[in-house]
Amino acid sequence: MNPSRPSAPTRWILLGTIGAIVLTILGAVWLEAVHPQLDTDGNRVEGVPPLATTDVPSCRRTVDSEPISRIRETFPRGGRVGSVQIYACPAAYDGLTVSYVGEVVGELLPRDGGAWAQVNDDDYALVTGPVVGHREHAGFNTGLSVWLDAPLVEDITAPGRPALRGDVVLLRGTILRADPDDGGGITLRATELETLAPPLEIDPPLHVLQVVVAGVLSVLALAATLWAGRVRRR
């Protein structure tokens, strides 16, 4: 035996452990790859106006003043803007009247005179629907904090939840870079609301194979636990 190398049992323990980890991960990857998928074609929201500009210029406060003035001069009053565009250059949109389209998610938080809502304008809201029945990944959720005046709140029927896309709404209002009524947050103070799509309930398909694997593994785990108990008592 070569004294500079691990002994045979040690080697087998190490190789066995690494092999088990790799097999487990590959098994999980395979199981996820065969997850049944829903068709998302029908989830796209119709009637969404185009963005006023598709550019996403960024500007750093005290450093880049050119994009700020350019956006403020060229942005059409009431044009549609995306949340990513606002966050990339908040100073440019401060006080501008814009349109904004997105899905109301979570809960409506009623306060005096209206309610706060989180309105997302990502692909899950406008294109594919929630990631419960499909695997069309589109990154983080992105959206805006929106203040809805009391009459507008009544038009919201259901905010988005797991397996439910909430109302998709077209909002018109004013962007505030540091809203004093929200402790300095970036908000949209909405004055008009139009519902573009009602709530959409998703019925995620059951992954039967995953349920079978879970059942088999649970039985194996139970059997191994009983066996370990017997060995311990001996």
Under rule CB under 8 A, which residues in 33-72 are in contact with another protein? 35, 58-63
Applying CB under 8 A, among 100, 120, 173, 190 the residue interacting with another protein is 120
- Residue 233 as a binder of another protein (CB under 8 A): the answer is no
Applying CB under 8 A, among 15, 18, 21, 34 the residue interacting with another protein is 21
Q: Which is nearer to another protein, 79 or 90 (CB)?
A: 90
CA 83 to CA 185: how far, in whole Å?
A: 13
Q: Tell me the window of 43-51, 72-80, 188-196, 208-216 that interacts with another protein (CB under 8 A).
A: 208-216
Applying CB under 8 A, among 185, 191, 195, 196 the residue interacting with another protein is 185
CB 89 within 8 A of CB 68: yes
Q: Which is nearer to another protein, 10 or 74 (CB)?
A: 10
Q: Which is nearer to another protein, 78 or 182 (CB)?
A: 182
Largest CA-CA distance found in the chain, in angstroms, rounded: 84
CA 90 to CA 84: how far, in whole Å?
A: 10
Hey, which residues between 78 and 107 contact another protein (CB under 8 A)? 87-91, 105-107
Applying CB under 8 A, among 39, 50, 112, 137 the residue interacting with another protein is 137
- Angle (CA) 194 112 78, round 5°: 30
Q: Tokens 């990502």 identify what position?
A: 122
Residue among 98, 185, 100, 84 at smallest CA distance from 142 = 84
Residue among 109, 122, 198 at smallest CA distance from 153 = 109
